[in-house]
């Protein structure tokens, strides 16, 4: 192999390794982003449910005894 071919092979190998490393990091970032969005949604859903009056509680109207 000539020096040019060796250099090209080495560059390709380094590029492959680098893309694998960033690929897993990007997947991890995507998972964290997704979990953050889900947490945000859940918090706002809980806030909305606390703000709305519930119909499950006891009524304050007159009762038949």
Query: In sequence order, which residues have a C-beta less than 8 Å from that of residue 1 and are 6 or more positions away?
Result: 9
Residue 58 has pLDDT above 80, yes or no: no
Q: Look at residues 30, 10, 6, 29 and name the one whose alpha carbon lies nearest to residue 18.
A: 10
DSSP one-letter code for 1: -
What are the sequence ranges of the domains in the chain? 1-51
d(CA 45, CA 52): 11
d(CA 48, CA 40): 12
The percentage of the chain sitting over the pLDDT mark of 70, rounded to a whole number, equals 72
d(CA 46, CA 41): 9
- pLDDT, one tens digit per residue, over 28-44 is 889 999 999 999 999 99
Q: How confident is the model at residue 27 (pLDDT cuts 50, 70, 90)?
A: confident
């Amino acid at each position: 192999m000539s020096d040019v071919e060796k250099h090209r092979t080495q560059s390709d190998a380094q590029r492959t390794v680098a893309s694998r490393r960033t690929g897993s990091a990007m997947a991890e970032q995507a998972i964290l982003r997704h979990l953050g969005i889900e947490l945000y949604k859940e918090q706002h859903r809980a806030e909305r449910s606390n703000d709305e009056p519930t119909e499950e509680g006891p009524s304050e109207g007159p009762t038949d005894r």
